[in-house]
A = this chain, B = another copy of it.
Amino acid sequence: MGRVFVGDGYCHHVSSDFPALYRLGIVGAGQIARMTHQAAVKLGITPRLLAEESDDSAALAAPDALYGHPDSLAAFADTCEVVTFEHERIDLGLLRRLEDSGCIIRPGTRTVAAAFDKMHQRRVLLNRGFPVPVFAEVRSPDDLIDFSTVFDWPVVLKSVRAGRPGEKGVWIVENSQEAMAVINENADRELMAENFQPIVKELVVIVVRRPGGNARCYPVTEVVQVDGVAREMRSPASIGHQVATEAKDLAVRIANELDAVGVLAVELFLTTDGLVVNELAARPHNAGHHTIEASPTSQFENHVRAVLDLPLGPTWLLAPAAVTVNIMGGFDGVNPADNLPEALSVEGVQVHLYGKRPLPGRKLGHVTALADDIDLARDMARRAEAALEGRRPW
């Protein structure tokens, strides 16, 4: 049947059979939308998607997706009772106008703005006393030289606005030469500088919050990066009880401050000086994918519940340890889907593939293993990962 386009303020397709109860729209149709869609279907709700391409991960698996640029949101929102997002690359002005005209947008502009515009986020968090790195706008190379003079190298350069999946948005530069190269290559993007953090661990707290403030946290997840890309998520993080409590408390306070609704993923650095806020994502997050199997209520179901103002479900872990490993497209042309039989032969590992074309560096799926300890779970997940990538022995 092909694609239905939305745009120019006119919606070309308002199906009469869209269920009247909980007309939920999701802007975006990647894997986050795909898994959110599944969680909603379980509850008897069929969200409508605003997709960009017909082979978007969620559009492949859901009926009646609408197609259009995220900015064609107004026409899409007309067909929905509640609109939510799988990414933050939304025109904030448009979002604000929609909100002002009475659309129910969850999370709202206040939260989306903090996830989308990192300068704005830093200012809000700093003003409210949350721990953030030292930061500065970089409008010219001079700004950066000034910054490095005070805070020394290395400096962290960041794109102010949230980018597309897989788009590089953070650079750690060791000297002015490297810094200039980044600035020149990104002349069309606003950049900011932050002082380098002595990172001990990268942590993520998934907090889910209803309108009105009722909120729950999942146990803290630890993220392990390989070559600057999140590859392995371990839950619970191997941190002390006190740090975990502090991290969750921080996340809930930020969610309250931003009046977040739905999942807010608070990425934290555990540094030698304590916890520092790294990033915010106002949507279900890669560090919560294990909750599909590891929690009574997944982050996706709780996101749906929260944005529809339904009671939240339990967030505890069903096993002592859960490890999720991302399956990335490689440069060798291997399609993980071709190796599904080998991956499923790793007993007890949960294999999730997103139906996406295998491009290098693209997230194509994830595997989750639950076990009695992190090492065992990681070993299982790693074996399934190797199988999907066609490596032997696993």
Contact = CB atoms under 8 A, between A and B. Distances in A.
A382 to B, nearest CB: 18
A120 B381 CA distance: 46
Contact of A41 (B4, B38, B318): B38
Given A17-B54, A355-B19, A311 B61 contact: no
Given A1-B64, A19-B355, A41-B38, A313 B344 contact: yes
A246 to B, nearest CB: 26
A348 interface: yes
Interface in A294-317: 296, 305, 310-311, 313-314
Interface in A348-383: 348, 350-355, 365, 370
A60 B345 CA distance: 32
Interface string A11-42: 00101010101100000000000100010011
A19 B61 CA distance: 11
A172 interface: no
A195 interface: no
A243 interface: no
A298 to B, nearest CB: 11
A341 interface: yes
A310 B346 CA distance: 12
Contacts of A344: 43, 305, 310-311, 313
A355 B310 contact: no
Contacts of A314: 347-348
Contact of A348 (B61, B296, B350): B296
A21 B338 CA distance: 8
A63 B66 CA distance: 12
A20 B22 CA distance: 34
Nearest to A336: B44
Tell me the dominant secondary structure on chain A's binding face: loop
A212 to B, nearest CB: 13
Q: How large is the interface on A (under 10, 10 to 19, 20 to 34, 35 or more residues)?
A: 35 or more
A22 B335 CA distance: 14
A21 B310 CA distance: 38
A121 interface: no
A254 to B, nearest CB: 25
A63 B48 CA distance: 12
Contact of A341 (B1, B310, B351, B370): B310
Which 9 pairs across A and B sit closest by C-beta, in order of nearness? A44-B353, A311-B345, A311-B344, A41-B61, A63-B63, A1-B1, A44-B355, A310-B344, A314-B348
16 contacts: A1-B13, A1-B15, A17-B54, A19-B60, A21-B337, A42-B351, A43-B340, A43-B344, A43-B352, A44-B337, A44-B340, A61-B63, A63-B64, A296-B350, A310-B344, A314-B348
